[in-house]
Amino acid sequence: MLTVTQIAKKFGVSRTTILYYEREELLTPAYRSENGYRWYSQKEIQRLQAIISYRSYGLTISSIKTLLNRNGETQTQILKDHFNELEREIQNLRAQQKAVVVLLQEPTLLEENIVNKKRWVEIMIAAGFTEMDMVRWHQKFEELEPNEHQKFLESLGISGDEITKIRALKSTNGINIRCR
């Protein structure tokens, strides 16, 4: 039997991580002593090994919980779903790369204010962006570089009211950013 500290050292994770997995009901100690020490048996050690493996694949805690508890979904289905989600993320990143390449091929476009909102939207669509991809792009830009995002939107000739709406986009917000 191992304590929290011992099991954490064995797997190269923090003690906090082990306690987090307990709070999330992924890992429960086999025994708890009167002084509050948590003790983990071989069964829990094997379970932690599985948790750490699944986390290394990028699976969410809820997916791991489902996998370990076998709540209806099979391991194969959960892994396929995760694979498909990764594929969507890769496609989005590739679309962003294409948009950057377009700008790199014509770097003066932004500097000379030749690119307006309509042209930018056309570039994004040509690069394979959906409307939701564009929303996520603006959200990430706002999160990482709010001042630069403001300058960029101004460089496209977008009105102040519309810039305010774009910068306030939330993941559940359905504001239309396309130029019709």
pLDDT tens per residue across span 142-174: 888 888 888 888 878 889 999 999 898 864 444
∠ CA 113-176-129, rounded to 5°: 70
Side chain identity at residue 4, one-letter code: V
pLDDT at residue 111, rounded to an integer: 57
Distance CA 15, CA 9 (A): 8
For the residues 13-35, what does the mean pLDDT come to?
93
Tens digit of pLDDT for each residue in 68-94?
877 666 778 777 887 888 888 888 777
* pLDDT over 60 (residue 109): no
178 vs 64, residue with greater confidence = 64
* pLDDT over 60 (residue 180): no
Looking at every residue in the chain, the average pLDDT score rounds to 81
Helix (H, G, I), strand (E, B) or coil at 1: coil
Lowest model confidence (mean pLDDT) among 12-21, 26-35, 151-160, 171-180: 171-180
* pLDDT over 50 (residue 110): yes
Distance CA 92, CA 89 (A): 5
Strand partners, 31: 39
